Chains A and B, each alone.
Chain A
Amino acid sequence: MAYVVGLRCRECGKEYPQKGVHVCEVCFGPLEVQYDYARMKGKVTRESIERGPRSLWRYRDLLPINAEPRAGLYSGYTPLRRAHHLEKILNVRELYIKDDSANYPTWSYKERVVSVAITKALELGYHTVGCASTGNLANSVAAHAAVAGMKAFVMIPHDLEQGKVLGSLIFGPTMVRIQGNYDDVNRLCSEIADKYKWAIVNVNLRPFYTEGAKTFGYEIAEQLGWKFPQHTVCPTAGGTILPKIHKAYQELIDLGLVEDNAPKIYSAQAAGCNPVVEAIRAGRDLIKPQKPKTIAKSIAIGNPADGFYVVQAVRQSGGWAMDATDPEIIDAIKLLAKAEGIWTEPAGGTTLAAAIKLIASGRIPRDESICVCITGNGLKTTEVVADQLDMPTSIPAKLDAFDAFIAELDGAGGTRELEPLAAGGPTP
């Protein structure tokens, strides 16, 4: 059952039919998919969702497709984990990790947006898809395009981590490294989308693409037993996911599927690229663009298109914003791995580090439920921790050599355990 009505400009309200158009021709405002929520009432229920597949498509009634899903049939529905060790370390009562480092098939939250965008691209009759990407989106577009039998053109900044580059190339897209930062790639792709008749997922398919991010929020609520965490901490790059989690929560409230406990949403950015955090702190609507300088390359977007909507969503929900320095990001990556067995990329380290600082500063109370959104996988960004870890000792394959190794360890403190985790985590 499709409940999509059409597209509508978020700024001036002009309405459009469903097609490959991304900005309002009147005011350049972003277009938002409109649904017939009244018709959903009583039909889109907890039960109807629970009967769906164990993928993001269990929420298809709330997604902008008219025909059957054509991509991402195994994507989404990632683990929501109680983080008992982190609760102890951070001295909080109830902490969850929503773990999209385990999202199939390319290990990031981007599967959600791409599954919807590629399904829509096929619906609209496109044969070629593309994207401007900091890496994760390129990986996802390349993989899903391969499955869908579409041609893929992916455009990335020239200096990305090798894991992110190989993680796209293996799927056989045409990949172009652009000499500039993501914002330069973005601007070029906007012009490419104008000239070539391709479905650039985050340009001319943006209204449909961004809707896929709502499934991150639906899953948090459903997996928590149809409840919201009181505090959701989410990374901000271009500003897609945070406002869409906010929208997902609002839709579930409006449809009567989840009780409104006034869930607060928090934006996390790297200190080396924090235009949204700065705007929220200063109480401004205006996002001042920056030249990014951080190891968190996947979220290094200095001119976030939807930054304004992040500011709005954070403010409306009663949340706040926090940034984290590169050393804090690395500490948080290591902490999450040692404490919970999850290896995330710097974007995830940023989010956990920001959550820790929000807790330490009293913005997030220790006795309320908290969800940290992990959106990417550390295996793609091994460079950032490579020189942070002690490489293992090499010994002969003999028991006495091993005994000597253990004796040496005992002498150095008696245990092979890693250093104890700091109770406060990164300092605020």
Chain B
Amino acid sequence: MAVKIRIPTPLRQMTNGAESVEVEGGDVNELLLALCAKFEGMDKRLFKQPGELNRFVNVYVNEEDIRFLDNLHTKIKPGDDVSVVPAIAGG
């Protein structure tokens, strides 16, 4: 199914400025792989290696960090809100 992923500023130069991108996939991993297939170089931004995100890439599904869910295997259903967010400093 198609789900919208929100793209943070540092990645928008890769998405031609698009703030969100619609991709297909049944879980987070599939969505991100679809995103990588769509935009050249995206895979290096997101993944350290297949199945492992870069240390500072946080992914949220419906406002919940996927590390509290099922990580990259977190299932996606229609209408889910997916966003990629870089980590930020304390306060």
A interface list, Cβ under 8 A from B: 11, 21-30, 110, 131-134, 136-138, 180, 182-187, 189-191, 193-194, 202-203, 206, 209-210, 237-240, 288-289, 291, 301, 303-306, 308
Give A206 to B55 CA distance when docked, in angstroms.
17
Of residues 57 through 75 on chain B, the ones whose CB sits less than 8 Å from some CB of chain A are 57-58, 60, 63, 65, 67-68
- Given known contacts A26-B44, A27-B45, A184-B63, is B9 in contact with A194 (CB within 8 Å)? yes
On B, residues with C-beta under 8 Å from A are 6, 8-11, 13, 44-45, 54-58, 60, 63, 65, 67-68, 83, 85-91
Set of chain A residues within 8 Å of B83, measured between Cβ atoms: 187, 191
10 examples of A-B residue contacts, CB within 8 angstroms: A11-B55, A23-B56, A24-B10, A29-B55, A30-B56, A30-B89, A134-B91, A183-B65, A191-B8, A308-B55
In the complex, what residues of A have CB within 8 A of residue B85's CB? Answer: 187, 190-191
Q: Point out the residues of chain A lying under 8 angstroms from B87, CB to CB.
A: 23, 28, 30, 303, 305-306
CA distance A13 to B87 in the complex (A): 18
Given A202-B91, A306-B87: 11 more A-B contacts, CB < 8 Å: A11-B56, A27-B44, A28-B55, A29-B55, A189-B88, A190-B88, A289-B67, A289-B68, A305-B90, A306-B89, A308-B55
Q: Which residue of B lies closest to A206 (CB)?
A: B89
Pick from A22, A133, A184: contact of B86, CB under 8 Å: A22
The 5 A-B residue pairs with the shortest CB-CB distance in the complex, in nearest-first order: A238-B90, A305-B87, A137-B91, A28-B56, A133-B91
Taking CB atoms, residues of chain A closer than 8 Å to B89 are: 22, 30, 202-203, 206, 209-210, 238-240, 305-306
Residue of B nearest to A113 (CB): B89
Asked whether B58 lies within 8 Å of A303 as measured between CB atoms, the reply is yes
List the A residue with the shortest CB-CB distance to B90.
Answer: A238
